[in-house]
Amino acid sequence: MKQYEVENKYLVSEFTINCNGRLVDLTQPAVMGIINITPDSFYEKSRKNSAEAVLQRVEQILEEGGKMVDVGAYSSRPGADNVSEEEEWQRLLPVLSAIRKQWPDLLISLDTFRGRIAEKAVGDYGVDIINDISAGLLDDSMFDTIARLNVPYVLMHIQGDPKNMQKNPHYKNVTGDVLLFLARKIDELRSRGVSDIIVDPGFGFGKTIDHNYELLHNIEQFKMFELPLLVGVSRKSMIYKFLGGGPETALNGTTVLNTLALTGGAKILRVHDVKEAVECVNLVSKTVQ
């Protein structure tokens, strides 16, 4: 057996996360629809620049079968410019307010690496999940904040930061290195009393194309954590730099990789194209009944 290999290869696990007192069952994988309130996210069609546009996007996500939304006001594309904490919050404020007013019970994930932003969003707008691309590396207050807030936390692997992460990323063994990184961070969170942890290998965050596909090939090994697995490959460069084209042509490739992720144990798909991802979940689920 290879190092890091999961013994029960075909084990089907049931997972729940506690979102503000609601137990969310992830036995059937959930689709998380992306909402970018940024001017420079890598996929132009995902950018929303007004509360009205965001509300239309949320309605579309729900109509197409999405179970949660992931709202972000800080672009994490490779080479992205820094955005101040104040600007990030000013972008979020009207959007979170509008969403909560129209959908009080909607599961909202907030894509932020800043503890103070997380605290205000959870306290003022009842945000359900914090999705941190940096696993606490970009704000050393984040883990203590999550422990205090008692909300589910997406723990994602990254090498470097958005500004420099694609400048010659390197690993001794990408799967082993990412698993070890996540294991250590899980221990840190659990030592603070955090139990609702979602793991994310961080496709595209400090990885070459080959690194990304090696991680996907070994995706079942992430079952060793016995935690929900989130996969975000939607329209990323690992698809279009390999096949050609750009983000706008990468939907078919996204569906293929989402299928592989689901068969490997993914419980949340973070996507731009909700309808297609929901169909993917339904078809994969039908084959394993």
Residues acting as catalytic residues:
236, 270
Cα separations in angstroms, 193 against 29, 123, 152, 284: 26, 19, 12, 35
Q: What is the DSSP letter of 213?
A: H
One DSSP character per residue, 103-124 reads -TT-EEEEE---HHHHHHHHHH
Cβ atoms of 95 and 104 within 8 Å: the answer is no
Closest Cα partner for 130 from 71, 80, 172, 195? 71
Environment class of 25 (CB within 10 Å of its CB; exposed 0-12, middle 13-18, buried 19+) = exposed
Structure tokens given for 180: 């070890």
- Measured CA to CA, the distance from residue 164 to residue 155 in angstroms comes to 20
3-state secondary structure of 16: strand
Cβ atoms of 91 and 97 within 8 Å: the answer is no
- Measured CA to CA, the distance from residue 17 to residue 234 in angstroms comes to 23
- Measured CA to CA, the distance from residue 111 to residue 204 in angstroms comes to 16
Closest Cα partner for 33 from 211, 208, 275, 274? 274
Residue pointed to by tokens 């999705």: 131
- Measured CA to CA, the distance from residue 197 to residue 178 in angstroms comes to 16
- Measured CA to CA, the distance from residue 88 to residue 104 in angstroms comes to 22
